[in-house]
Amino acid sequence: MPSKKKSQWKTLVLGCFKDKNLTLESPKLVSKKQGSSRISLSDLSDYSSPSVISDLSNSLVGNVQIFTCKELKEITNNFNKSNFLGEGGFGKVYKGFIDDKLRPALVPPQAVAVKALNLDGKQGHREWLAEVLFLGQLKHRNLVNLIGYCYEDEHRLLVYEYMERGSLEEKLFKGYLATLPWLTRIKIALGAAKGLAFLHEEEKPVIYRDVKASNILLDVDFIAKLSDFGLAIDGPNKDQTHITTRVMGTHGYAAPEYINTGRLTTMSDVYSFGVVLLELLTGKKSVDKKRPSREQDLVEWARPLLKDSHKLERIIDSRLEDQYSIEGARKLASLTYQCLSHHDKSRPTMRTVVKTLESLMKLNDIPIGHFVYVAPSEVTNCDVSLNVCDKSVVKSKDEEKEEGRRTRRKSRSSRRKIQALMRSRSVYSDTALYKTLGTGLYSPKESKEKQ
Query: Comparing 67-132+141-161 with 168-361, is the CATH topology the same?
Result: no
Residue 41: name the closest of 114, 119, 120, 125 by CA. 125
Average confidence (pLDDT) over 88-98: 89
Residue 94: name the closest of 73, 108, 125 by CA. 73
Between 83 and 385, name the one with better pLDDT. 83
Between 354 and 391, name the one with better pLDDT. 354
pLDDT digits (tens, 9 = 90+) for 125-158: 888 888 998 999 999 999 999 999 998 888 899 9
Please tell me the least confidently modeled range out of 13-27, 226-240, 276-290: 13-27
Q: Beta-strand (E) ranges in 91-209? A: 91-98, 110-117, 146-152, 155-161, 206-207
Please report, for the chain, the start and end positions of each structural domain, with discontinuous segments joined by +.
3-59, 67-132+141-161, 168-361, 382-428
The confidence score (pLDDT) of residue 304 equals: 94
Q: Is 115 annotated as a binding residue?
A: yes
The helix (H) or strand (E) run that includes residue 234 is strand 233-234
The confidence score (pLDDT) of residue 383 equals: 42
The answer on pLDDT for 421 being more than 60 is no
CATH 3.60.15.10: does it fit domain 168-361?
Answer: no
Cα 448 to Cα 136: distance, rounded to the nearest angstrom: 19
Q: Give the contacts of 351 (CB within 8 A, at least 6 positions apart).
A: 197, 200, 201
Cα 190 to Cα 358: distance, rounded to the nearest angstrom: 7
Q: Give the contacts of 164 (CB within 8 A, at least 6 positions apart).
A: 218, 219, 220
Strands 91-98 and 146-152: what pairing?
A: unpaired
Between 115 and 107, name the one with better pLDDT. 115
Most confident residue range from 27-36, 42-51, 351-360: 351-360
DSSP state of 225: E
Between 438 and 223, name the one with better pLDDT. 223
The answer on pLDDT for 302 being more than 70 is yes
The answer on pLDDT for 231 being more than 70 is yes
The confidence score (pLDDT) of residue 391 equals: 39
Cα dihedral 272, 275, 279, 280 sign: positive
Residue 96: name the closest of 166, 162, 167, 152 by CA. 162
CB 54 within 8 A of CB 66: no
Q: Per-residue DSSP letters for 344-403? A: GGGSPPHHHHHHHHHHHHT---PPPPPP-----TT--SEEEEE-SSS-EEEEEHHHHHHT
The confidence score (pLDDT) of residue 332 equals: 97
Angle in degrees, 0-180, between the axes of helices 50-59 and 125-137, rounded to the nearest 10: 10
Active site positions, annotated: 210
Please state the separation of Cα 356 from the chain's center in Å. 19
Q: Per-residue DSSP letters for 253-295? A: TS-HHHHHH-EE-HHHHHHHHHHHHHHHHH---SB-TTS-GGG
pTM as predicted: 0.74
The answer on pLDDT for 436 being more than 50 is no
The helix (H) or strand (E) run that includes residue 409 is helix 404-424
* Band of pLDDT at residue 265, cut at 50, 70 and 90: very high
Q: Which residues pair with 382 in a beta bridge?
A: 396
pLDDT digits (tens, 9 = 90+) for 402-420: 555 555 555 555 555 444 4
Q: How many residues does the chain have?
A: 451
Residue type, 200: H
Q: Give the contacts of 343 (CB within 8 A, at least 6 positions apart).
A: none
Fold annotation for 67-132+141-161: Phosphorylase Kinase; domain 1 (3.30.200)
* Band of pLDDT at residue 368, cut at 50, 70 and 90: low
Average confidence (pLDDT) over 165-192: 90
Residue 211: name the closest of 257, 248, 174, 182 by CA. 248
Average confidence (pLDDT) over 30-56: 59
The helix (H) or strand (E) run that includes residue 224 is strand 224-226
The answer on pLDDT for 8 being more than 50 is no
For 167, the 3-state DSSP assignment is strand
The confidence score (pLDDT) of residue 117 equals: 84
The answer on pLDDT for 17 being more than 50 is no
Residue 115: name the closest of 138, 132, 101, 134 by CA. 132
CB 232 within 8 A of CB 266: no
